[in-house]
Structure 1
């Protein structure tokens, strides 16, 4: 199951919750919108059991007012190349389309494309009819008969109901090579290249007119095989650190006193991930002290709030000892670089203390722990 993301915005609340199911394991990530959040993995007896559990969790979140949104495409667009594969002799017009800039506007064309590994989704509902805007990110594509282009492109369908959104999401699943008719309806130049600037263009949007099915195009299948290769490295302290294609970061797992702790290095660059690993090692080696500081700060900032909503069937009081016992150690360590400085978030989770929200403790290598959210 591709990653599905849901958001809840009401009053001052602005939370997200997303779930992914692979085989027997479900991975849930949640937190405030704009933050990395926390991740919890759970293994089931079978893949069918994991799928049913995921569907039940999605239904529960929907009942609570969460709305499904598109998963933000973050895949870094590789350097554009032109395929050397054979081309039809009557495709001179298509061969002239060698980049986003050369796509003619408002002309219906047949595209063949590789859907972003993170899959597709429905943008926020708007308007009186409260309909969805379907979107899918494409990481490589061509106009039929033309060369392969490796620039990001967005295909969209406005004003779709829940049933049509579901059908479109099945048609544009992550990693699929698809064939469809569409026309360019929006192209605005951005200020820079790279993932934030979409290769020099800020917005490049196609509007779908007809889905034609899956494709076995050799160029796009070759790109899929290339991008599917595992990208990872091994560190003596943190073990295997691997790039996750669906959420576009490096992650890993470490163990402390029998508890698994997730690692999240928020970058798409292996060089940056290795830099973060090096900078994070002193923190991990002093983790007993580091985790004690984490528990002390959360106790200081959250104990009184938790007293307000604390509930126990046997009327057991929430003492500081009980609070620290339920809190335990962090379950997720997230790292990113800010002007070369290591910034981290320590994610904690206890259903009895925080429900399904969890807490984030932020800090830097230079200043130590800063605040709790």
Structure 2
């Protein structure tokens, strides 16, 4: 059995094989791999105090095994200056040594995000680590899938989705499948193909639904000289500039169609969520 790090004399490093093995309320020196899609950020409590947070893809206690679990690292009740300093110290796919602790039961926040947290005491600095470097190399590799309908789809490690480019009647479109799993990608592609095959009717329905929503709720945004008729609206809106396909546990397969027109919505986008070619769409800015 490997000996625990001198900095972690109260912790048996070899015993920490998952997040649940980390003792509560004990400051520990960790080495962590920053997630590819996380660069750190802050949220304010409205009283000039901030909470910093950043995601780990994996971590280990020096001398212990690599734990491949997503964990949120947070530092609470800090000044804006300290927030800025912390954000400069960690970037996507950095391997960093830091001191943190799993919250003591009595101090656990009432609510958590989707995964657990470490409370950050300090970043020590960048660190070389073979086990975490293997994961970093894996996440840095290019993953590309070729599809007869959607062409080249590349994995975007920052956002954990596959993306590609398409064109419709002269309009370039971003095509996104919200998964980083190749098997799940194939499932989404098969569900998306019937929509794509009839995209003339699908996109026309999107334009009609967008006009209906805009004319009832957003027409005050229009500042053109000519009266905003349906014909003028369609010309200004054009065709979708992006489509995202996804699947959630509650409602199943769905899509988001995105459009943009400076004349209609200035620098905003206008999106529509739906599930079928000609069914109802939830349109919003």
TM-score between the two structures when normalised by the length of structure 2: 0.85
Asked if 2 retains the 8 angstrom alpha-carbon contact of 1:294 and 1:369, the reply is: no
Q: Matched residue pairs, number?
A: 273
Q: Is residue 134 of structure 1 aligned with residue 72 of structure 2?
A: no
Q: Superposition pairs for residues 29-178 of structure 1, below 5 Å?
A: 89=3, 91=5, 93-126=12-45, 129-178=47-96
Distance verdict in 2 for CA 1:155–1:321, change over 3 Å: same
1:311 aligns with 2:223: yes
Shift in CA distance, 325/210, structure 1 to aligned 2, threshold 3 Å: same
Change (3 A) 1:206 1:305: closer
Residues of 2 paired with 1:302 and 1:242: CA distance? 34
> Where does residue 356 of structure 1 map in the other structure?
267
Secondary structure class of the residue paired with 2:85: helix
Where structure 1 has 5 or more consecutive residues not aligned to the other structure, the ranges are: 1-86, 189-196
Answer whether contact 2:144 2:153 (CA < 8 A) is retained. yes
Q: Contact 2:209 / 2:281 at 8 angstroms: preserved in 1? A: no
Q: Give the Cα separation in 2 of the matches to 1:230 and 1:255.
A: 24
CA deviations on 1:218-240 (whole Å, 9 max, x unpaired) are 11111100122223311011011
Structure 2: gaps of 5 or more residues = 6-10, 107-111
- Kindly indicate whether residue 176 of structure 2 is the aligned counterpart of residue 264 of structure 1: yes
SS of match in other structure, 1:368: coil
**Cα–Cα, structure 1 residues 205 and 323, in superposed 2: closer, same or farther, change >3 Å?**
same
Partner of 1:344: 255
1:328 has 2:247 as partner: no
**Once superposed, what is the RMSD of the aligned Cα atoms?**
2.6
Instruction: Check 1:272–1:90 CA distance in 2 against 1; reply closer, same or farther (3 A cut).
Output: closer
CA distance in 1, matches of 2:116, 2:212: 48
- Name the CA distance, whole Å, in 2 between partners of 1:355 and 1:185: 45
Question: Which of the pair is proportionally richer in strand?
Answer: 1
Q: Which secondary structure state, in structure 2, belongs to the residue aligned with residue 275 of structure 1?
A: helix
Q: Work out whether residues 15 and 64 of structure 2, in 8 Å CA contact, stay in contact via their aligned partners in 1.
A: yes
What's the offset of the Cα at 1:206? 1.8
- What is the Cα deviation at residue 342 of structure 1? 3.0
Contact 2:40/2:91 (8 A) holds in 1: no
